[in-house]
Structure formats: structure tokens, C-alpha cells
Chain A
Amino acid sequence: MVYRPDGLQQERTILAWRRCALGFVVISVLITRTALVAGQPVIGVAGLATIAVAVLVLRLTMRRRPWRRPSAKPPHGLAVLDDGRLPALIAGVAMTLCCLIAALVWLA
């Protein structure tokens, strides 16, 4: 049996992950800076933690490469996603950021 690459689908998906991870890094840096400037150290520290998670996600997506040539062996890792754990983590981090920013804009 020959395993065939599915055109540019994987590449588009991997790039979408990278855009998202970069967005996370930017927003985490923004919230940390805004919180520290506004004198909200607790939210600032939480922002630093989200920067760490964002960098982790970025590293995870940078390791993935789409496979391009038909091969006789099953390719390793069709895409970034293996199951529902990563989307759950990402949605959880995004929701945490939302709560931090809601608290920040309301308190500052």
C-alpha cells in the first residue's frame, strides 16, 4: 500500500497553528505589559504564565512538518492534532486570557 500526501491541507493547517501560537504570544505579552504598567502585579504574573504556555504551543507547532512524497510506510504525524487534548488546552488558555483581560480592564 502507498500512503499519499493530501496536497496542501496539512501545510495550511500547520500554518494556521503557527499564526494562532504567534497571536497567543503577542496577546500574552500585551496583557503582561498592560497589567504591570497599570499596577496589577497578580494579573502581570498570570500573564507571564500565559507567555510560557504560548511559547510551548509555538514550539509544538514548529516541530511539525507536512509530508510530501508518497511512501510505503505510514507517515509519522498526519497533522498537529492527535486527539482533543491540544484544542482543549488552547481553548482553556484563551478563556483564561479573556478572564485576565476582563479583570484588568475592569480594575485598572
Chain B
Amino acid sequence: MSPAATIAPRGPAGRQAYCCAMSADEPVAGDRRWPRSVYGHGDEPDPRFSLANERTFLAWIRTSLGLLAGSLAVHLVDLGRYEGVARAGAALLAVTGLLCAAQAWRGWARTERALRERRPLPSSRTGIVVVTVVVLIAAALAVLSVWG
């Protein structure tokens, strides 16, 4: 088989080729997958889209873990009399990590449902919140560690 032949055709025939025995346009009988708010709607998307959605979920989880590592690092910074700022910054980073983990789940579920229903993908404002928090804490630490 030539390499080009391993690429499935587009449309329902292509999805059929990827998705085992599932028909692209009919709900699967006896489908009990959880959560029903996702799998109870629409029909099977192209698995490549589901895999991409899964990787986006994992990227948010890794962002959350990165913020947690940052939180522990800020916790160890010695700011002398501004110790309270380091403590508040570390706690704020951990809370932002919590927000990222929640967004990971919410984004995965909303995107998977949109894919199943062939709707435009949802957006979220979590990214701008994370960037703002990180920039503010970095600026505060930079200023206090130089002039503090």
C-alpha cells in the first residue's frame, strides 16, 4: 500500500475508516459513556479532532502543574520584610493553577460536545486571566527583589 493510501477520504466514509464500526451519522445503541452531557448529543466526530481536544486538555493540565511549580518556587524566594508579598503571590499562583485545571475539564467537555454537534468551537477567557496574574506577580517580584 502506498503512503497516500493510508490517508482516509474526507467525510463520513473517512470517519468510518477511522472510527471502527461506528456509523458517523447514527447514535450508537447502548452508548453509556460518561458524561452524558457530552456523549448524549450529536454523533461521532473524526477521532483526530477528539485526539487534538485531548491534547488541549492535557496542555491546560500542564499549565496548571507549571503554575504550581511556580507557586512553590515563589514560596522559597526570600524577600525579607516583604515576605507577605511572596506568600500572597505563591497562593495566588496556586489558585490560578486551580482555575487552569477547572478550565481543562470545562474546555474539554464543551469542545467535545461542539465537535459532536458539528458546531463552532467554544472560546474561553481563562488564558487572559492566567497571563495577567503571571505578569503581575513577575513584575512585583522583580521590583521587590531589586529595590525591596
Interface residues of A, Cβ cutoff 8 Å to B = 1-7, 9-10, 12-13, 16-17, 19-20, 23-24, 26-27, 30-31, 34, 70, 74-75, 78-85, 87-88, 90-91, 94-95, 97-99, 101-102, 104-106, 108
Contact = CB atoms under 8 A, between A and B. Distances in A.
Main secondary structure of the interface of B (DSSP, over half): helix
Interface residues of B, number: 51
Contacts of B102: 91, 95
Given A90-B61, A98-B97, 11 more contacts: A3-B18, A12-B55, A13-B54, A19-B58, A20-B62, A78-B19, A94-B100, A98-B101, A99-B98, A105-B71, A105-B91
A81 B69 CA distance: 26
A88 B104 CA distance: 9
Interface string B67-81: 011011011000000
Interface stretch (B34-42, B119-127, B137-145): B34-42
